[in-house]
Structure 1
Amino acid sequence: MFEDTLELAENKLLLLYIFKRIKFPISNNEITQIILENGFINYFTLQQYLNELLSSNFIKKVVYSNNHKFIITKKGLKVLLLFGNRISKNKMDIINQYLDTKIESIKKNLFINASYTIDPKNNFIVNLKILENNSELIDIKLNVDSNSKAKELCKKWKKDYLDLYYNIVELLMSN
């Protein structure tokens, strides 16, 4: 019984770790594929764990163009920080290796855009966007006062779009 409880906790922590490592919302199908391809949890147990993580507010369901995605919450990050050392090194290594090889295919449906224009009042309008399967995940327009700021924002978005997107979502979802 005690081993079952430890395995349950480790598997939920492993799910939180995957969400943290990926850094952008992923669908139930995507998380299911990751777990099943590595043989960690069966499908039905995985769905139960996801529901439990949702009801505990460790992950959150977000909707983009009628597509449901999951993302880790601050509460989930805090739990992972406190108890993440309980995930076996073997499972962490397997997930890290898997994500290192598959993250590009997971992200392949993302289209990143960073551009700017000048309006009639000589303001620079920066447009930062992420599309997934032709649906907008995020579209931000910022007004800045110089060409150099516009270029820097575009450069930073193209380089760090996943971290920036994740931080924006977390900021907006925080209480």
Structure 2
Amino acid sequence: MYESTLELAENKLMVLYILKSIKIPISNSQLTEMILENGFINYFTLQQYITELISSSFISYDKKNEKKVLVLSAKGEKVLSMFQDRISPSKTEVIEAYIKERLETIKRELTLTSNYTIDDNGNFIVDLKAIENDFMLMDLKINVTSNKQAMSLCDKWKSNSSEIYNKIMQLLINS
């Protein structure tokens, strides 16, 4: 029992540590991906911890760029500062390395959105957005005729948005 209590505390502190270390709000799926990829906690236990941390007001959901993100509260930060030494150094090293390697990708996921809907005529409306520092850089809506085209545009935007944005701006400015 004692060992599992220590593990429970360490795991919850690790979630708080990640949210503090990354220094930007992240989505539940990004947090989950980070924890699962490193084999720290299983999915269902992690979701339970997140719910408990929210109930205890250590973390909360916020909305950023039309996305639901997790943020560390002042109360969570205080608890973490008091008990951070209970997280094993090997885990904090892995977390720091992961954040360093993936931070730009995580930021891009939060600042780029792409999705599509179907209108009354069966056409697909693709919505591509780029947001930087809470400022809308571009919001482009494109009407296409097939699901395949809509998915392709969304994929291209996610993988190459910077180049696409620059080309559009050059075309508009130089025309």
TM-score band by shorter chain is 0.5 to 0.7
Q: Distance in 1 between matches of 2:130 and 2:16?
A: 25
3-state secondary structure, aligned to 2:93: helix
Q: Is the 8 A contact 2:65 2:134 kept in 1?
A: no
Q: Distance in 1 between matches of 2:95 and 2:109?
A: 21
Task: Map 1:119-158; keep pairs closer than 5 Å.
Answer: 131-133=111-113, 134=129, 138-139=134-135
3-state secondary structure, aligned to 1:109: helix
Gaps of 5+ in 2: 114-128, 136-175
Q: Is the 8 A contact 1:64 1:135 kept in 2?
A: no
Where does residue 83 of structure 2 map in the other structure?
A: 83
Q: Is the 8 A contact 2:22 2:103 kept in 1?
A: yes
Where does residue 41 of structure 2 map in the other structure?
A: 41
Alpha-carbon offset, residue 97 of structure 1: 1.1
Q: Distance in 1 between matches of 2:96 and 2:65?
A: 30
| Pairing 1:19–2:19 present | yes
The verdict on how the C-alpha distance between 1:46 and 1:132 changes in structure 2, with shifts beyond 3 A counting, is same
| Pairing 1:59–2:59 present | yes
Show structure 1 runs of 4+ deviating over 4 A: none
The verdict on how the C-alpha distance between 1:65 and 1:100 changes in structure 2, with shifts beyond 3 A counting, is closer
- 1:10-29: per-residue Cα shift (whole Å, max 9, x none)? 00000000000111111111
- 1:91-110: per-residue Cα shift (whole Å, max 9, x none)? 11111111111111111235
RMSD over aligned Cα atoms: 1.9
Alpha-carbon offset, residue 132 of structure 1: 4.1
The verdict on how the C-alpha distance between 1:104 and 1:7 changes in structure 2, with shifts beyond 3 A counting, is same
Where does residue 10 of structure 2 map in the other structure?
A: 10
- 1:79-134: per-residue Cα shift (whole Å, max 9, x none)? 01000010001111111111111111111235xxxxxxxxxxxxxxxxxxxx4432
TM-score (norm 2): 0.64
TM-score (norm 1): 0.64
Q: Distance in 1 between matches of 2:28 and 2:134?
A: 20
Q: Distance in 1 between matches of 2:103 and 2:66?
A: 23
Structure number with greater CO (CA < 8 Å, separation at least 6) is 1
Amino acid at match of 1:45: T
- 1:55-100: per-residue Cα shift (whole Å, max 9, x none)? 0010010123552110001001100100001000111111111111
3-state secondary structure, aligned to 2:8: helix
Q: Is the 8 A contact 2:62 2:71 kept in 1?
A: yes
The alignment covers a number of residue pairs equal to 120
Gaps of 5+ in 1: 111-130, 140-175
| Pairing 1:106–2:102 present | no
